[in-house]
Structure 1
Amino acid sequence: MPNGFVTALLTPDEMAQADRLANNTPALMEAAGRAVARAISRRFAPCRTLALIGPGNNGGDGRVAARHLARAGWAVKCLTPAQATLNDVTRADLVIDALFGAGLTRPLDAHCTALLQAARRLVAIDVPSGLDGATGQPLGFAPQAALTVTFFRKKPGHLLYPGRALCGALVLADIGLPPAVLDTIQPQTLENTPALFTLPTRSPTAHKFSAGELCVLSGSLPGAARLCAQAARRAGAGIVSLAAEHPLIIPEPGILHRQAPLATLLQDPRRHSFVVGPGLGVERAGQALALLTAHPALHIVADADALTACANQPGRLKGVSVITPHAGEFARVFGPPGPNKLAAARAAARLTGAVVVLKGPDTIIAAPDGLAAINSNAPPSLATGGTGDVLSGLICALLAQGMASFPAACAGVWLHGEAATQAGDGLLAEDLPAHIPTALRRALALAPGGSAP
């Protein structure tokens, strides 16, 4: 596990285990409640506040938070669900949801639901009650929080939609739990950050063949393949070519055109990295995929038409390094991901032996061994045609330079999101490659030992 679990995400069961390993002392509850009060005070002016107090640790955290707010001059009332009425909630300017947190495993009852629905402004402790901390899915109803305060490590449900949106602003507080408990828990889910990967560097004697030639298989309309190739060049691939058996107009200097049949191209061992799918056509992508996967030493990224060619036949993807489906493509190959996208991505990775990049606002990167990362830096401007082609080129360029499949996929997804952030509003897919160098510099600055501004 990279960098001492610094980006680990804990399921509710794993967080409960961490509490037990730390002996769940009163000092931890005091620190948690104090952190909630501090986060509230930093964001809101003193106002009439109602703390809805449930059983267990979540309710205890709420009582401590209320005590600290009261000492600071806030007008605070603590009520259990049995004591609270809708009038109590509607009279409050701020409601602290200390009912259940992530420990709930069933839908809220009608009374608790009505109380939370009546809140005008809500702060959640751990997660909004009714939200599954493992999947980000409501267990029936979960309220919209303006602020959520959680402790020690985030949970998958804080990053997976709709949970990410329902949490509002998220504060992660250190309450003194020893990080050493993670050595026992061995969490398998991570938040995708530059702490998870080491970008390739070039030696002083490097040359353009050092990383081999990256080939993007192109159809007769090569727009998608060009986007892919442009990204691969910006991400450091030494030689990038479009492989097509028909003439192409390639206006960008530095991108080569290989017109030989794929079987001939595969005879050169320097040509070891391929992107198959973008704009290729379903039939041709399926044929090319079969040729490529017969060569076990290749780095292969399969996207778009290559995935559609494998509809209901995921076994055809064995031998591929990384697949990059959006939700529709994933459903065509593996079936609908359902409410637990993280489990679905892991199952697909185990089945194919490939790293699965399940694209979306909360992109999941899942490895065949069960390790998975959830990405959180992608802006909504990426929801436009062609950006997935850029991502495929990014990931394949990192594979070509020697990165292993899982860290290459994690790096490619993070760089993709950072490049989009740098590009800003009005993003077009063709804008992204120019921002990849800035994203690379940003990743190096944020990596452990870097010098982030």
Structure 2
Amino acid sequence: MPNPDQILTVAQMRAAEQALIDAGETVDSLMRTAGCGGAEYLWRIAGHRAVTVLCGPGNNGGDGYVIAEHLRSRGGDVTVVSLSDPATSAARDARAAFAGPVLPADAGPKGDVLVDCLFGSGLSRPLEPAAIALLGDLAASHDRLIAIDMPSGVDGDAGLPLNSDLPRCDVTLALGAWKYAHWLMPSAAMMGERRLVPIGVDAVDGAGQLMGRPALAVPALDAHKYTRGLVLVVAGEMPGATLLASKAAMAGGAGYVKLATAAVLPQCPADLVTVAYPLDQVLDDARIGAVLIGPGMGRSEAMVERLRAVLRWRGPLVLDADALMLLEPQMLAGQRGIVIATPHEGELARLAKLYGVAGECKLQTAKALAAASDMVIVAKGPDTVIAVPDGRIVVAPPATSWLSVAGTGDVLAGLIVSRLSAGTDPLTAVCEAVWLHGESARRAAPAFSAEGLIAHISASYASCL
């Protein structure tokens, strides 16, 4: 069955297309399906405005000829600009079927909408100077830019621009399935609105997944605070961050949140239970569902010992912030419980170096680190990537950039430990938390604080019931 939320590598996409061909499709028929589907979107976007379709020599250019003919046959004002003659049989057939004008690369037409069909997701080398110049000139002479499958000049797997100064698109129409570059930074910032054009691709084993709205539930009629999850947040040297994480855990569905601290905390909510150290005694409670350490922790020797004490506990752990800067691989030796790490870019780089892994992009690094460390990796950022040790990958759609403020990472950590505490499997718990985090930011007014973000978690939760 088709899975509209799967994300494929370029190799997986080629294999999926080959499977369709083995089942009776042809390259030409798949091109017609993709081109006509893309043209339907373009017709709604462009209407009767002048459209220029920029076609390359390969099958992405062939898609462009199909799109152009579909628009022309419906009465659209469409012109094709060809970088060079078609180089594949299917592209030549598509060009032969187009009954409108085909202009040379130096024609320089102006119009309302430019459709980029130069090169698709399979491109692995930079655009030649003539191609990049043509794309830039035409983009500048049109009001809107729409990419078919992938903006030309982008690595479809790594999400990296292969050329500098590529134009940004207003819309990108992914053909058949999402590719990682549609959702990974920095290429994700070039895509504009994203739409998927189905061509009948079935679900692919080993595909990544685009994170969607979770299905949360009302507590059972016989629920109580422990069945809903007892969270322990371990305080550090800076109380503000641990308070934020604790408040987020309380809003995220946990039945009971405890804060382990030796200090008297200002503005501590009345319903947040504080417990004093020693930490080993605090952790000796079989009812604890999950533990969070790292927010506001600091990096003193005392905090190293506090981290070691937490890692001796065998239950589900969330490691965030300074815990990831203090962590050493040997500290996890013998750890049989679930461990979720939530690194930002700098912390991810440190952990990757510690475990001797490397990747060309964030996705590859997170996947390799999860396998090497046996931790679930939540690589935070505008393109949050979740990697599980067994190889599963989930990518979150981009949330609002207003999240780029101090404390929002602590809120996310609190949500993750909250969802984990009731026994939810780690990948589901993380996806629920990341979605609630992003949705709460969407609901908050611009220029919100981390406290302001927490205020919207309850409404975000309610929207999933």
Superposed pair shares fold, TM > 0.5:
yes
Match of 2:444 among 397, 409, 423: 423
How much does 1:131 deviate? 0.8
| Residue 147 (structure 1) aligned to one of 171, 175, 178 | 171
Q: Please name the residue that 1:316 is paired with.
A: 331
Give deviations 1:22-66, integer Å, cap 9, x for gaps.
114333322211222222221224344332222332122111111
1:19 equivalenced with 2:34 (yes/no): no
What one-letter code is carried by the residue in structure 2 that aligns with 1:37?
A
1:88-103 map, 5 Å:
88-103=107-122
Task: Give the superposition deviation at 1:88.
Answer: 2.3
2:57/2:83 contact within 8 Å kept: no
Distance 2:251 2:61 in 1: 52
Measure, in 1, the Cα distance between the counterparts of 2:113 and 2:180. Answer: 26
Task: Give 1:171's aligned residue.
Answer: 195
Taking only aligned residues, the RMSD between alpha carbons, in angstroms, comes to 2.2
Alignment CA distance shift 1:148-1:377 (3 Å)? closer
What secondary structure sits across from 2:456 in the alignment?
helix
Q: Distance in 2 between matches of 1:201 and 1:337?
A: 42
Distance 1:55 1:85 in 2: 13
CA distance in 2, matches of 1:292, 1:5: 40
Using the alignment, how far apart are the partners of 2:330 and 2:149 within structure 1? 40
Partners of 1:235 and 1:78 lie apart in 2 by 53
CA contact 1:224–1:278 (8 Å) conserved in 2: yes
AA in 1 matched with 2:366: A
Instruction: Give SS of 2:238's match.
Output: coil
Q: Alpha-carbon deviation of 1:90?
A: 4.9
Where structure 1 has 5 or more consecutive residues not aligned to the other structure, the ranges are 445-453
Preserved contact between residue 52 and residue 81 of structure 1 (Cα < 8 Å) = yes
Indicate whether 1:105 and 2:124 are aligned: yes
What CA deviation, in whole Å up to 9, does each residue of 1:128-149 have, x standing for no partner? 1111111211122443222221
2:228 paired with 1:204: no
Q: Which aligned pairs between 1:247-262 and structure 2 lie closer than 5 A?
A: 247-262=264-279
Pick aligned residue for 2:211 from 183, 192, 200: 192
Contact 1:276 1:285 in 2 (8 A): no
Overall identity of the aligned pairs, in %: 36
In the alignment, the residues of structure 2 paired with residue 246 and residue 75 of structure 1 have an alpha-carbon distance, to the nearest angstrom, of 71
Pick from 41, 50, 72 the counterpart of residue 39 of structure 1: 41
Q: CA deviation at 1:251?
A: 3.1
* 1:292-331 correspondence runs (5 A): 292-296=310-314, 298-310=315-327, 313-317=328-332, 319=335, 321-331=339-349
Query: Contact 2:7/2:210 (CA < 8 Å) preserved in 1?
Result: yes
Equivalent-residue separation in structure 1 for 2:318 and 2:251 (angstroms): 17
Residues in 1 aligned to 2:296 and 2:398: alpha-carbon distance in whole angstroms: 27
Contact between 1:415 and 1:443, CA under 8 Å: does it hold in 2? no
CA shift for structure 1 position 164: 1.5
Please give the TM-score of this superposition, normalised by the length of structure 2: 0.87
1:357 corresponds to which residue? 378
1:4 deviates by 7.2
Does structure 2 conserve the Cα–Cα contact (< 8 Å) formed by 1:8 and 1:187? no
1:188/1:267 CA distance change after superposition, 3 Å? same
SS of match in other structure, 1:88 = coil
Q: Does 1:156 align with 2:180?
A: yes
User: What is the distance in 2 between the residues matched to 1:129 and 1:406?
Assistant: 33
Amino acid at match of 2:169: A
Shift of 1:153: 1.9
Per the alignment, in what secondary structure is the counterpart of residue 455 of structure 2? helix
SS at match of 2:146: strand
Q: 1:377 to 1:147 in 2, by over 3 A?
A: closer
Contact 2:248 2:414 in 1 (8 A): yes
Deviation at 1:377, TM superposition (A): 4.4
Counterpart contact for 1:245–1:260, Cα < 8 Å: yes
Say whether the 8 Å CA contact 2:243–2:268 is kept in structure 1. Answer: no
Worse-matched range after superposition: 133-142 or 62-71: 133-142
Using the TM superposition, give the Cα deviation of residue 11 of structure 1 relative to its aligned residue in structure 2, in angstroms: 1.4
**In the alignment, which residue of structure 2 is the partner of 1:28?**
30
Q: 1:273 aligns with which of 283, 287, 290?
A: 290
Aligned counterpart for 2:365 among listed residues 339, 344, 349: 344
Residues 89, 95 of structure 1: 8 Å contact kept:
no
> Residue in 1 aligned with 2:434?
413
Greater shift in the superposed pair: 119-128 or 44-53: 44-53
| Higher mean C-alpha displacement, 286-295 vs 77-86 | 77-86
Structure 2 vs 1, CA of residues 126 and 252 (structure 1 numbering), >3 Å: closer, same or farther? same
CA distance in structure 2 between the partners assigned to 1:326 and 1:400 by the alignment? 23
> Structure 2 CA distance, aligned partners of 1:9 and 1:230?
34
CA contact (8 A) 1:314 1:351 kept: no
The answer as to 2:8 corresponding to 1:10 is yes
Shift in alpha-carbon separation, 1:317–1:418, aligned structure 2, 3 A: farther
Distance 1:126 1:210, change over 3 A: same
Q: Could you tell me which residue of structure 2 aligns to residue 384 of structure 1?
A: 405
The 2-side partners of 1:377 and 1:394 are apart by: 18
Pair 135,443 (structure 1): closer, same or farther in 2 beyond 3 Å? farther
Please name the residue that 1:450 is paired with.
Answer: none
- 199, 217, 230: which one aligns with 1:213: 230
Q: Specify whether residues 317 and 386 from structure 1 end up closer, same or farther in structure 2 by C-alpha distance, changes over 3 A only.
A: farther
CA–CA distance in 1 between the matches of 2:309 and 2:348?
22
The 10-residue stretch of structure 1 (77-86 or 44-53) with the greater mean CA deviation from structure 2: 77-86
* Unpaired stretches in structure 2, ≥5 consecutive residues: 86-102
What is the aligned partner in structure 1 of residue 99 from structure 2? none
SS at match of 2:233: strand
Q: Do the aligned partners of residues 190 and 421 (structure 1) sit closer, same or farther apart at CA in structure 2, a change above 3 Å counting?
A: same
- CA shift, 1:245, in A, is 2.2
Is the 1:86–1:118 Cα contact (8 Å) retained in structure 2? Answer: no
Partners of 1:399 and 1:4 lie apart in 2 by: 30
